[in-house]
Every structure is written in structure tokens, then in C-alpha cells.
Structure 1
Amino acid sequence: MRITSARVIVCCPGRNLVTLKIETDDGVHGLGDATLNGREIAVVSYLENHLLPALIGRDPAAIEDIWHYAYLGAYWRRGPVTMTAIAAIDVALWDIKAKVAGMPIYQMLGGASRHRIMAYGHAEGEDIAACLDSAQGFVDAGYDAIRLQCGLPGVGTTYGVPKDGQTRYEPADADLPAEHVWNTARYLNQVPKLFEQARRRFGDDVHLLHDVHHRLTPIEAARLGRDLEPYHLFWMEDSVPAENQAAFAMVRSHTTTPLAVGEVFNSIHDCREMIQSGSIDYIRTSLTHAGGITHMRRIAHLAELHHVRTGCHGATDISPVGLAATLHFDTWVPNFGIQEHMPHDDIVAAVFPSNHRFEAGYFRVDDTPGHGVDIDERLAADYPFKRASLPVNRLEDGTVWDW
């Protein structure tokens, strides 16, 4: 079997999604997710101008060799654009290999470690009361895990909270970047109140999570983690920017609140120090942005040695193709923790027909060969690409800050 074509399909059924389709001379095709939120066309260019021409004529079963060819052969290694492009190829090749074998991908990886995958939903609101009302809907639907994000008094825009009365939180929603305002002091005062009231309302059995979104310094994150300890969070996510991996050791030394990080990581080197030092509890890297299934297995194996579990990024900037591949990874990986889930709009499900099931806060995959997602190219063509940008964050004095 040989690869005969490899092409990129870009569509925007509500938000931009980039799909790689690899076809073989035996008529078997595989799909990979190449979506990089706000930088989609950069990945398209990298694929079309550098990687895809070199795939033609290769054996699609040689996944490991192709992965290293794309990674080591580039010289300029790593980075989100490169690793997202490699991930798309990798997932498409795993899809082909599993289809040829007549197996779901999780069986190709070594079989199932679990029969269902716990996911957490996103509850949000402009204030604490609205956030808790949103969370109530997830509790009523049977979720065992919920992320809570609420607005701040006197601050017009807050990460994770819908703007202008919208019902969905979609960050990449403008042609040019919106500018948000941030106030750390108000945030540090508000969040413990949110979780105090959440525990009072929902009791101790629901897993509660929170995303800081890289906005604190290490000592501020340490304070927040300590203040949240009475409410025993499942995790506190992305508390500080992770370029300085040692900063997490400082946060860890001050709090027992579990720490999660990694949705913006793209290689094992981004998280190695934190994992090996015991500074984190969950690694959130997504296989769509970190070299695919092949590389995520390496990250998971390293994490397992240090009692770190997975919690893969799974917002709607991961396409249904990327989500399905992640669910097969989740089904296999022995040190699974939890899976993020934001549901796509119905039109996305129409463009990307899928076989996995979601019910009451849990995913299940079946035994369909491959990852179980295809693409309706005719329907996708009705939704052309629209440039969209993530916001830029500023402090109230105008200083650019982490978003």
C-alpha cells in the first residue's frame, strides 16, 4: 500500500476547522485534525508546502518513520505550527492502519483500559449566581465533573464567560483580536467565594475544576491554591505561564490543590521538568497540537512514571476528528484522569459524522475501525474559512498581559 494523495480541507461550520485527508492506492483514507485556533492557515501552509509533497509514494503503515522524518528532518523543530501539522499526518496514518487491520485505534494501541471516559463540562456566568445556575444544569444532566468560571465585579470581560449575553463561549470570534481587561486583585478575591458557594450548593461529591488561564505570578497562584484548599478542587489549571517550568515547583510547595497544565504545550520537552519534579498532577496537552498519538504516548508514559495523569484539552478548537482520536487515546491510556468537553454545534456534527457516544458526562467509543469520524466534503464546502483571532489581554493601566 502506498500514499497517493494528501490534501487539506478548511471549513468554518461555526468556527474554523482544518482537516487533513490522506488517501492510498488501496482506496483506504485517513483523516487528521490540523486545527490551530487563530493560526489555521499557518498550519495549512506548512503542510502543503513542506510535508505533504514528501508523503506521496510512502508506505502509510510506517508511522514511526514518517513521524521522525517530519520532526527530525525539519531542523527547525517543535513549535505549535510544526507539531500540529505532524499531528494531523500522524492521526490520519493511525486511522488508515486501524482501518486496514479492521480495528478501532484504541485496540491498535494495546486495548481498552476503561469502558467509559469521564468528561467535564464548562459552567460559566457573569456573576457567581449565574455560574452556579449554569453548573446546576450539568449536575441535573448527570455530570460528575464541572469547570466553574465567573465574571469579576467591575471587569467587563473575563476568560471563560460569554460576552453580550451569548450562550456559548467561543474565543476566536473576531476578524482582528478583541482587547480584554484584567484585574488580578479582584480575581483572587472572587474565585474562593465562587467555590465556597459551589460546595455549599452541590456538596462534596461533584468534581469541581477551575482554569486560571496563565494569568497569575507564582506567588499569586500559590495564594489562590491555598485559598481553594477547603473546597478540594479536582484541579487548578494553567495557574502561571509555563515557559518557566520551575515556577510550578514554587506553587506546589505552598498548596495541596492539584495542578494541571499543558494545553498550549506541543512536545514532551515543554512538560518534562514539571512531570519529573512532581510539580503537577495532570498534563493537559492535546494530541492535535503535540505531534499526534505517537508523541502523546511518549508524554503519557513519562507522566505515568511520576504519578501524573492525563486531562487532554478538548474545547471546540479541536475538531471532531481530533476529539475522536483523543477518545481512543483516553480509552487506552492507563494513567487517564479526565477529558475536557465542549460540544460542537449541530452543523459541525453534520460535516463530521462520528460514531462515538456522549451521555451524562461520559464518552464511549465503539469498535468501528479507525477513529470513527469522516468528513462530508460537499457540506464542508458550504462553510468557507473566515479569519478569526483570539483576544489580547491588558491590565487596567494598559499593560499587555497573558491571555
Structure 2
Amino acid sequence: MNQIVDYELFEVPPRWLFLRVETADGTVGWGEPVVEGRSHTVRAAVEELMDDYLLGEPANSIEDHWQTMYRGGFYRGGPVLMSAIAGIDQALWDIKGKSLGAPVYELLGGAARDSIRVYQWIGGDRPSEVAEEATQKVDAGFSALKMNATEELERVDTPATVDDAVDRLRNVREAVGDDIDIGVDFHGRATKPMAKRLAKALEPYDPMFIEEPVLPEHNDALPDIAAHTTIPIATGERMYSRWDFKQIFENGAVDVIQPDLSHAGGITEVKKIASMAEAYDVALAPHCPLGPIALASCIQIDACTPNALIQEQSLNIHYNETSDVLDYLEDPSVFEYEDGHVSIPDAPGLGIDIDEEYVREQSQKTVDWHNPVWRHEDGSVAEW
């Protein structure tokens, strides 16, 4: 019986937390449990779960471990606990795949595709001149892009603010043409009235989807927003379990779900969420502005999920100013993008080899990333 005997946590630049889990026979699995800007809090949750439930237990009982971590506590769910569970779950699947000599997707039913399409971020938190950057990404081979729609928004903002958002999307569309998909991320910055106005105004430029048009606590507004537009609606990065997704499947307003493999309970839970989505004719596009372990976990799910649409990835994203996705891999070629796609890996476990020496070196650096706090002109807090 291959027992879990040790674990280590590494906080590394730019804003990631890596988990290393080791078993009695020396097999090592890696996970990425983090809430961006709350890494210390998640670290404590991982330590609590590992110490209370997993050390000394057999590594292969992944479903039972998931149920124990989730249901063993009277208070459940939420970003911190589900992200802690997610990173542990990723590491356990990595161990299982390595122990059996198979990629994780083979253990989940086998590949449903040879590759998955990826999209590339353009612009930053405050989108401005994005058309030139869009052209550069298309020239580099990407066939899909994503950009933020706006800066901070008032609850009911001016026509000029809407016009600015339209101008940015129009400029990108005119620069790259109609063969390129453009996702537009509202980032939860819009209230319901602004989401309706923006969706109507952006519609002539055919976004691939509008993402998180309202905050998830206002998901009950999505049917009303959907009634005002033909643009596909995407959401889910701040939803953490199949129970969180139940309402949006039942109300039929969402076309693309975006659970995060490092926030929504890991591989075990996101595979279940994806299967639920398939029953409602909803596509999967996992959220992943994170590191290589999170991305590898996403690709394992994409590989064996028939309704997977496209994969977010964070190479050169505006957050990654000090370190990037490929820096932590012994073989960065596993994430080579060709014609806007990444191939499904065939190596055991998560399909990547983490450069442990580099992780240990980087973990000595001070990491203190927090998202900015934006304010309106009157001094009140705005959504970032």
C-alpha cells in the first residue's frame, strides 16, 4: 500500500503556491492550490487537510480522500477550502498516473481529442491600445484572443464609457478579421444594467463570449442579460463546486462554463462539473491564469471531456512580470502552441516534469501579490 508520507508547500513568483506530495515508494505528485492574493490562507488550509486527513493514508483512494476533505468538515465550500482540496487532488492524480504509467486522462476514460485550442490574453487590467498586440498574437499563431472589456464601472455609467469599450473591440476585430475569436471579459465589473447595455453595444463585433457579465452572487440576473443578446455567456471562475453550478445549468442562461482546476475542487470535481454541463449542452473552457501545474491539470480534463471548447493559459499574461509558466518546467516543449492548439501530452500523471531545484530556489524570494483595490471618483470601492 503506497502511503502518503510527506508534503511541502512552495510559494513562488509571480503569485503561485505549489504543493509537493511524496509517497512511501518515492513517487512525487505536484499540485497548485492557491487563491491569488490569499496564498497564506490557502497554505494553512492545505496544511490542515494534509495533517488531519492524508498523511499516512494510501495515495490511491482519490475519491474517498476528496469526500473526506470536503465532507469531513461541518463547514464546506468556498474559495479557500475548495482551492486547498483542488491542489491536493491534482497531486494525488499526478501520483496515481505516475504509479500506473499513464496520463491522468487515460484513467478518466481516455482521450476525446488530440489537442485543445488555446487563447491568448491581450491588454492588461486597464485595456487600452490592444489592436496592435492582437495582430502580434495572431501573427504568432493564435486563433483566439481574450481582453478585458472595461476599467472600473459605475453602477450606471456614461455613454462614453460604453463607447470606449465598443471602440476597443471594434479596433481588435478590424485588426484581426473575422477568422479570429475574441473573448471579452467583463470581470464582474459590471452591474446588471451596464451588462445589458454593454452586451447590446458589443454584439455587432461578434465576441466569442462575454465572460462574467455580473458577479456570481448575481447569477440570478443572467437569464435577463441573456435575453438581451445573442453573444454566448461564459462564467464560473468564482464558482467552486457542482452545487454552485447547478443554478446556472437549470436556468439555461450560460453557454460556456469556466471552472478553475485550482479553485473548483481539482480534477475530481471539475470532471463532474463538465459532465453535468454536457447534459445541458454547455461547453467547458477552464479558467487558468495560473502556473504550469494548474494548466497541466486543465489539459488532462480537456483531453477526456467531449464538450471542452478552448483553454485559457497565462503565458505572457500581465500578471506574470517576474516568472512565467514555462520557467518551472524541465521540458517547456510540453506546452508548445501550434496553430493555436496545444497537443495532449502522453507522459504519466499530469504530463509535466517540474524543475524542483528551480522551485526551491524561487521559493526563497518574497512573494506578496495582491490584486489592486480600485475606487470610484467619489472614493467608494469599485470592482476590480
Whether the TM-score (by the shorter chain) exceeds 0.5 is: yes
- Conservation of the 8 A alpha-carbon contact between 2:119 and 2:142: yes
The partner residue of 1:230 within 188, 198, 204 is 204
Which deviates further from its counterpart, 3-12 or 74-83? 3-12
| 1:174-193 mapped onto 2 (5 Å cutoff) | 182=153, 184-185=157-158, 186-193=160-167
1:22 and 1:106 map into 2 onto residues whose CA distance is: 20
Aligned partner of 2:97 in structure 1 is: 98
| 1:2-401 mapped onto 2 (5 Å cutoff) | 2-12=2-12, 14-124=13-123, 130-149=129-148, 158=151, 182=153, 184-185=157-158, 186-315=160-289, 318-343=290-315, 349-354=326-331, 356-360=334-338, 361-383=340-362, 384=364, 385-401=366-382
Q: Which residue identity does 2:208 align to in structure 1?
A: F
Which deviates further from its counterpart, 346-355 or 113-122? 346-355
Cα deviation per residue 1:252-272 (whole Å; 9 max; x = unaligned)?
111111111111211122221
Q: Which residue identity does 1:11 align to in structure 2?
A: E
- Conservation of the 8 A alpha-carbon contact between 2:257 and 2:285: yes
Deviation of 1:279 after TM superposition, in Å, equals: 0.7
Deviation of 1:309 after TM superposition, in Å, equals: 0.6
Deviation of 1:68 after TM superposition, in Å, equals: 0.2
Cα deviation per residue 1:297-341 (whole Å; 9 max; x = unaligned)?
1111111111111111111xx221111011111111111111112
2:182 and 2:197 map into 1 onto residues whose CA distance is: 18
Cα deviation per residue 1:228-253 (whole Å; 9 max; x = unaligned)?
22111100111111112211111011
Q: Which residue identity does 1:363 align to in structure 2?
A: V
Q: Which residue identity does 2:8 align to in structure 1?
A: V
- Conservation of the 8 A alpha-carbon contact between 1:122 and 1:342: yes
Q: How many pairs does the alignment contain? A: 371
Q: SS at 1:280's partner residue? A: coil
Q: Which residue identity does 1:325 align to in structure 2?
A: S
Deviation of 1:70 after TM superposition, in Å, equals: 0.3
Q: SS at 2:217's partner residue? A: coil
Identical amino acids, percent of aligned pairs: 34
- Conservation of the 8 A alpha-carbon contact between 1:147 and 1:208: yes
- Conservation of the 8 A alpha-carbon contact between 2:314 and 2:325: no
- Conservation of the 8 A alpha-carbon contact between 2:4 and 2:58: no
Cα deviation per residue 1:270-315 (whole Å; 9 max; x = unaligned)?
2211122111111111111010111001111111111111111111
In structure 1, list runs of 5 or more residues that go unmatched.
Answer: 153-157, 159-180
1:303 and 1:387 map into 2 onto residues whose CA distance is: 36
- Conservation of the 8 A alpha-carbon contact between 2:53 and 2:69: no
Deviation of 1:347 after TM superposition, in Å, equals: 6.3
Q: Which residue identity does 1:118 align to in structure 2?
A: R
- Conservation of the 8 A alpha-carbon contact between 1:212 and 1:236: yes
- Conservation of the 8 A alpha-carbon contact between 1:265 and 1:290: yes
- Conservation of the 8 A alpha-carbon contact between 2:299 and 2:344: yes
1:144 and 1:63 map into 2 onto residues whose CA distance is: 37
- Conservation of the 8 A alpha-carbon contact between 1:2 and 1:57: no
In structure 2, list runs of 5 or more residues that go unmatched.
Answer: none
**Structure 2 vs 1, CA of residues 113 and 4 (structure 1 numbering), >3 Å: closer, same or farther?**
closer
2:357 and 2:177 map into 1 onto residues whose CA distance is: 48
Deviation of 1:395 after TM superposition, in Å, equals: 1.6
- Conservation of the 8 A alpha-carbon contact between 1:215 and 1:240: yes
- Conservation of the 8 A alpha-carbon contact between 2:77 and 2:240: yes
Q: SS at 1:296's partner residue? A: helix
Give me the TM-score of the superposition, normalised by structure 1: 0.87
